[in-house]
Amino acid sequence: MDDVTDLTGDGGVIKKIVTRAKAGALAPSEDLPMVDVHYEGTLAETGEVFDTTHEDNSVFSFELGKGTVIQAWDIALKTMKVGEVAKITCKPEYAYGAAGSPPDIPP
């Protein structure tokens, strides 16, 4: 089974499953749009970590589809289930755009 999926059809958001969710795990829905995530954001060119919840074991919570996070997260996380671990790779237009988000994310 292939664990890599092009979620946008243009290579803009690629999801690689690292750990599958257990059978019967819940996925986000219109009735359950809130998600809690642990993440590590890295720069594609250098692998440098620009943000993470792992250092302090915190959780980042948000509601899918409200535009409060980068578009790649809204796209990818709606395909995930509780307990699933995935690596999401995205093009700038699905994240911070050509301008980046200085100083942490360069143009």
H, E, C per residue of the chain = CCCEEECCCCCCEEEEEEECCCCCCCCCCCCCCEEEECCEEECCCCCCEEEECCCCCCCEEEECCCCCCCHHHHHHHCCCCCCCEEEEEECHHHCCCCCCECCCECC
Residue range 4-94 forms a domain whose CATH class is alpha beta
> What is the reported pLDDT for 32?
87
> Does residue 1 have a pLDDT over 60?
no
102 falls in which pLDDT band (50, 70, 90)?
Answer: very high
Question: From its phi and psi, is residue 41 left (phi > 0), alpha (psi between -120 and 50) or beta?
Answer: beta
Displacement of CA 16 from its chain's centroid (Å): 11
pLDDT single digits (tens) 36-79: 999 999 999 999 999 999 999 999 999 999 999 999 999 999 99
Distance CA 25, CA 83 (A): 7
Q: Which of 40, 38, 63 is nearest to 50 (CA)?
A: 40
Q: Is the pTM of this model over 0.85?
A: yes
- Per domain, the residue ranges of the chain are 4-94
Amino acid 50 reads F
84 falls in which pLDDT band (50, 70, 90)?
Answer: very high
Mean pLDDT of 85-104: 95
